[in-house]
Structure 1
Amino acid sequence: MPLLDWVNRNQAEETATRVPYHLLKFEKSYGDVKQAKENLIIQGDNLQALKALLPLYGGQVKCIFIDPPYNTQSAFEHYDDKLEHAQWLSMMYPRLQLLKDLLAEDGSIWITLDDNESHYLKVLCDEVFSRKNFVRNIVWQKKYTVANDSKGIPDSHDHILVYRKSDKFLRNLLPRTEKQNQLYKYDDNDGRGRWRTDNLTVKTLSQAYLYPITNPNTGKEYLPSAGRCWLTSSDNMLKLINDNRIYWGKKGDGAPQLKRYLSEVQDGILPTSWWTFDEVGHNDESRKEQKVFFGSEAFSTPKPERLITQILKIATNTNDMVLDSFLGSGTTAAVAHKMGRRYIGIEMGEHANTHVIPRLEKVIEGEQGGISSTVNWQGGGGFSFYTLGGSVFDDNGFLNADVKFKDLASYVWWLETKFALNQTENFDNPFLGIHEGTAYYLLYNGILGDRRPNGGNVLTSSVLNHLNECHAHDGKRIVIGEASRLSPARLEALNIEFKQIPYSLYGNKAK
């Protein structure tokens, strides 16, 4: 597959690996304390924050929506959108790598951009997510007026690139609207309800479905147009005609059309790649929403709540996890909150405090802006605010003294298995779990109750006996600790691999 090349691409490929793992530092919870644990707002560099999230949420995020800088070469109040093209690519590449690792196997990522960088990003995403996992390029009509003062061809749309993690992704149908139901305007008063006309032919050519249909009122025969055939067999077509499910025009002398009954259609409709402003909102609508929340326009190009709602309807269900690592004014988090989704939002600037938190506080209070009336939002819920703490490992690979047992257990498990550790577990012994037939144990931070230096963190015969009491395992075992007093021969005989903190376990992976 062709690859996109740019200055410093090699460094960009290694950035995600080299960025240090950081701890997340809890600052404050808002609203319902229990529900606040499910929703995170993180202030800090999104590259470091994404890396910090991997051991906690790797492979668990159902939907990622990001609205990154469009690289329009403009200077905005809240962020720099004036990167050199190669810098922009180097900024996006490692973030896409980490976002992919956070996605669930049935998850999807949605990225909004305009023509400045969308085509380059398409090539990057083909590489990171695989070309076969490209779902669609959705065109969103973001403006309802034309810039008549433009010297060229004014733009009226943005792109939304959609990729899935794997073929396990299944899109939802969109709910039907009353406007769509009004298309079913005919009724024969035969108890089957309202119907509309539909095409009787399909593109797939089948010789068995090429036959004449005779209008019973005129005797005139009809054949499909060139390159098409009828959608069913002649026997089934005769049944449809006899059952009064074929329409012959107002006077009964026209070509056959199918009667499509409202009562027989799907509960929802298929999403398409063309989203109009009357369907999902436009830029002016989102700016007006901003004024309601903040009293002024916080950002020049925010996204309307209806746009995010459409995405979450297609890509998620209630209680699924949603992530936005370019959170901006907090629209994604606000919509996810109102729709009953769990969420993680990452924002670097001070407006995480000045805009995002106040907006979500209003959501908890029951504000009635945006989609609130549509989803019958009445308030409630909660979220937690975090900042980035110290790195898990220092420049020499040594552990940060602030790292607790559960912190290190999460990083150990992620680095070994590439799966997130169950964060609801209350670890009171060294056993972490079993992955692909291998049992993992961590000796760290006095987990065995011995608080002396290195106490309980060294693998000895007595500690091994205790591990067997914690969780006996017949297969391979990996024990991670500060040192081992057991000989290599005995470890091999017991099918135990010992990994020392930090060098044997991590090497360069710690950074």
Structure 2
Amino acid sequence: MAAQRLQLTWYNKDKALIPTDSGKYGYTWVDPSDPRYCETRTLIYDDYVEGTQSPKTDEFEYSELADLEPQTDNLLILGESGDVLEALTRVPELAEKYLGKVKLIYIDPPFNTAQTFASYEDNLEHSVWLTMMRDRLLHMKKLLADDGSIWVHLDDVESHRMRLLLDEVFGPQNYVVSIEWEKAYAPSNNASGIPMVTDGILVYQKSGAFKRNKLPRSSAMDARYANPDGSVRGRWKQGDKSARHTLGKRQHPGVYGIQHPITGDMVYPAISSNWRFEQSEMLRIMREWGAYELGEVTDSELEARRKVEGNGVELRDDVKPLIIPGWDEHHKTHAIQRYEKGDWPIYYPANGGTGGFQRKIYLADVEGMMPKNLWLSSEVGHNDSAKREIQTLFPDTVSFTTPKPERLLERVIHIGSNPGDIVLDVFAGSGTTAAVAQKMGRKWVTCELLESTFSTFTRPRLEKVVRDEDAGGITTTKDRTLKPSAVLPEKFEVKDLQDATKLLNAIAKEDGATAEDAAAIKAVKRLLATGPSKTRNWRGGGGFHVAHLSPACFDYNPELDRVMLTPAATGQRLIESIAANLGFALLHAEDDYIFEGRRGNALLKVVEGVATVDVVDSLVPHAAPGETIVLAATAVMDGVRQHLRKAVKGSRVVALPDDLFHYSKGGEQ
């Protein structure tokens, strides 16, 4: 008997949900075959918003992001997320662009906290919430590229259930990490219980093809690198000369002595360590200092190796030391001259040339920081900083209760995508995801359910972004950098220097501090000095389409127990709806004046009225050999189905709405 997979179950899991009112978070359970759930609605394009990239000025420095080509093929949709996802996955023209091609999905869905916020409703019962999210996750999985990932932002109310739901949809093997974001840095002392200061972000990959990007380096990190020898490769810092290894029964092949080119002494790796490169590479490097060769393994050489490897390890006489045969003052002078010339090899003698060996680590070889699962507010912002971003953009409106800071989305988008990739967010809210994606050179698709939010926040914000009227968020990097006199030791950050300066300032104000103390404090503060750094990352530009969901063309009448066409099911709207629901791509008028759609070798004709034999006869001559006809009509005369099948083999008639949606509460589906 096959092992059962652990699954989350809930009330009405086998049912589907439809909105009770358009533009609100309220849902009703229905059968999954109900047309109100099954119908694919198309998009109606309303507008295209574009901006011009501003030129560079001397006022700012500019990052690489500021030079990226602003994306123009973006999509902002007013509509319910489930219907939007249905359109993106099933309308042929949209599916061709997005199905299996979205690199990153970030969603910040309603948290289900039994609270109703000003900009969206957030009071869904657990089973309703789970069904709503399940249906949307299934669509989003289809949209994700094989190397894509989904990031689901939640508090702790539903996160444990969502983890099981994501396991069910994406597979537990595709769980990547759960990130903890410090959303509040100063919780209220009046809060009951234990205040929550973090949100979680669950990350799942579509498949093992997902590859995360490392985080970019900060200016403070780069400040640790210098170029005292004038290296042609640029700035570098001192690194460990040796690497630790696990002690075995036999000596590590990287343990041996290297003669110092200036002092003539033999130098060895640290205890339980070895030289970082293979001996052939070490020999090549050292020959830049002198005439190095492989030497003999002497008793003193073995004794030194014993100190590195410890007792009980078999030493190897086939591993030779690196020496300068007959080393003398001539060799010393040559090595000193090489040292004074600068641009030293990657291994060099420290302390003016007489110290032990050190290794250079070039800034050009350092990729970035490995992401971790704890994201502090000092690194990516918090709710209060996000509110200030929104308030700056919309000073005359009431800000969102829980907006997300742009720096948080910047990190998500950087780790999970690259410039030119598609980013999707189906719970747009104030539009942070799309705004940051645009500033980072990504394509984006986003939708918002509430018309008030869409018109007050989402669209105006994105208009400001493309028109370079949004100077907040990640548009400008406002960090601190080191002044020339400052020193930043390894494993410390610029913030540590700032905190130390604050402490020294407080000490200087204490009673009893002498003039001598003040002078000492001033000298130390000089070593800790930081200053403001402004780098421009965004200059506007690009654009986006504005669209809304078409009205439903099909409805279910419970009194008649049958599917009905709605008043919207007429003209071009009916044609587009039938094409979408049957999977036909629309044909342009210049391509074909007779048929409205094509799917492979099948041609679609929609008749708003009665399909007759004469209608069939008018279509048949326009079908090429091997092509078939699908005739969809709101009424069908007797004998028309047989006549079409006989005239064009493989063709069929679709009577609307009965042949498209067979739903009946009491009958067959």
Which residue in 2 is equivalent to 1:417?
none
CA distance in 2, matches of 1:203, 1:21: 63
Query: Per-residue deviation at 1:304?
Result: 0.9
Is residue 210–residue 224 contact of structure 1 (8 Å, CA) maintained in 2?
A: no
Query: Per-residue deviation at 1:208?
Result: 9.4
Which residue in 1 is equivalent to 2:388?
288
CA distance in 1, matches of 2:221, 2:587: 44
SS at match of 2:10: coil
Which residue in 1 is equivalent to 2:55?
none
Is the aligned partner of 1:334 residue 2:435?
Answer: yes
CA distance in 1, matches of 2:604, 2:117: 48
1:357 paired residue among 432, 435, 459: 459
CA distance in 2, matches of 1:479, 1:457: 15
Is the aligned partner of 1:46 residue 2:76?
Answer: no
Which residue in 2 is equivalent to 1:373?
476
Is the aligned partner of 1:388 residue 2:549?
Answer: yes
Is the aligned partner of 1:67 residue 2:95?
Answer: no
Which residue in 2 is equivalent to 1:3?
7
Which residue in 2 is equivalent to 1:418?
none
Query: Per-residue deviation at 1:289?
Result: 0.6
Query: Per-residue deviation at 1:124?
Result: 0.9
Deviations 1:255-288 (A, max 9, x none): 976432113334x555443433333222221011
CA distance in 2, matches of 1:64, 1:456: 50
Which residue in 2 is equivalent to 1:94?
135
Query: Per-residue deviation at 1:139?
Result: 2.8
Amino acid at match of 2:551: G
Amino acid at match of 1:444: V
Query: Per-residue deviation at 1:302?
Result: 0.4
2:603 paired residue among 423, 436, 441: 441
Is the aligned partner of 1:410 residue 2:414?
Answer: no
Which residue in 2 is equivalent to 1:500?
654
Which residue in 1 is equivalent to 2:305?
none
Query: Per-residue deviation at 1:231?
Result: 5.9
CA distance in 1, matches of 2:591, 2:577: 11
SS at match of 2:476: coil
Taking a change above 3 Å as real, the CA distance of residues 355 and 90 of structure 1, as seen in their structure-2 partners, is same
Amino acid at match of 1:263: A
Amino acid at match of 2:9: D
Is the aligned partner of 1:277 residue 2:277?
Answer: no
Deviations 1:442-475 (A, max 9, x none): 22249xxxxx843699666x74552216xx56xx
Taking a change above 3 Å as real, the CA distance of residues 404 and 97 of structure 1, as seen in their structure-2 partners, is same
Deviations 1:43-82 (A, max 9, x none): 3332233223332434143322211122344442233334
Amino acid at match of 2:654: Q
Is residue 141–residue 156 contact of structure 1 (8 Å, CA) maintained in 2?
A: yes
Taking a change above 3 Å as real, the CA distance of residues 47 and 263 of structure 1, as seen in their structure-2 partners, is closer
Is residue 186–residue 194 contact of structure 1 (8 Å, CA) maintained in 2?
A: yes
1:212 paired residue among 237, 255, 271: 255
SS at match of 2:145: strand
Q: TM-score by structure 1 length?
A: 0.77
Deviations 1:227-249 (A, max 9, x none): x9876544445545656434777
Q: TM-score by structure 2 length?
A: 0.61
Which residue in 1 is equivalent to 2:448?
347
SS at match of 2:624: helix
Taking a change above 3 Å as real, the CA distance of residues 144 and 341 of structure 1, as seen in their structure-2 partners, is same
Q: Following superposition of structure 1 onto structure 2, how do residues 115-134 of structure 1 map, counting pairs within 5 Å?
A: 115-134=156-175
Is residue 595–residue 603 contact of structure 2 (8 Å, CA) maintained in 1?
A: yes
Is the aligned partner of 1:135 residue 2:176?
Answer: yes
List alignment gaps of at least 5 residues for structure 1: 415-420, 447-451
Is the aligned partner of 1:485 residue 2:642?
Answer: yes
CA distance in 1, matches of 2:358, 2:190: 47
SS at match of 1:121: helix
Deviations 1:313-359 (A, max 9, x none): 33334444332221112222322333444433222222222222332
CA distance in 1, matches of 2:105, 2:360: 40
Query: Per-residue deviation at 1:128?
Result: 0.9
CA distance in 2, matches of 1:405, 1:204: 71
**Higher alpha-carbon deviation: 237-246 or 311-320:** 237-246
Deviations 1:451-510 (A, max 9, x none): x843699666x74552216xx56xxx684645643587897xx6x36463565666569x
SS at match of 2:474: coil
**Higher alpha-carbon deviation: 274-283 or 346-355:** 274-283
Amino acid at match of 1:390: P
Is residue 458–residue 485 contact of structure 1 (8 Å, CA) maintained in 2?
A: no
Which residue in 2 is equivalent to 1:260?
361
SS at match of 1:10: coil
Taking a change above 3 Å as real, the CA distance of residues 190 and 105 of structure 1, as seen in their structure-2 partners, is closer
List alignment gaps of at least 5 residues for structure 2: 18-29, 53-69, 289-344, 478-535, 557-561, 634-639
CA distance in 2, matches of 1:15, 1:305: 40
SS at match of 1:390: coil
Taking a change above 3 Å as real, the CA distance of residues 498 and 314 of structure 1, as seen in their structure-2 partners, is farther
Amino acid at match of 1:361: E
SS at match of 1:353: helix
CA distance in 2, matches of 1:422, 1:125: 35
Is residue 287–residue 302 contact of structure 1 (8 Å, CA) maintained in 2?
A: yes
CA distance in 2, matches of 1:102, 1:188: 52
Q: Which one has a bigger Cα radius of gyration? A: 2
CA distance in 2, matches of 1:27, 1:90: 29
SS at match of 2:447: strand
Taking a change above 3 Å as real, the CA distance of residues 111 and 398 of structure 1, as seen in their structure-2 partners, is same
SS at match of 2:118: coil
Which residue in 1 is equivalent to 2:117?
76
Is residue 109–residue 154 contact of structure 2 (8 Å, CA) maintained in 1?
A: yes
Is residue 209–residue 229 contact of structure 1 (8 Å, CA) maintained in 2?
A: yes
Which residue in 2 is equivalent to 1:144?
185
Is residue 30–residue 36 contact of structure 1 (8 Å, CA) maintained in 2?
A: no
CA distance in 2, matches of 1:53, 1:317: 22
Q: CA RMSD in A?
A: 4.3
**Higher alpha-carbon deviation: 126-135 or 5-14:** 5-14
CA distance in 1, matches of 2:190, 2:257: 57
Taking a change above 3 Å as real, the CA distance of residues 376 and 181 of structure 1, as seen in their structure-2 partners, is closer
Deviations 1:393-435 (A, max 9, x none): 3334566523343443333228xxxxxx58999753648566x
Amino acid at match of 2:39: Y
Is residue 210–residue 230 contact of structure 1 (8 Å, CA) maintained in 2?
A: no
Calculate percent identity across the aligned residue pairs: 35
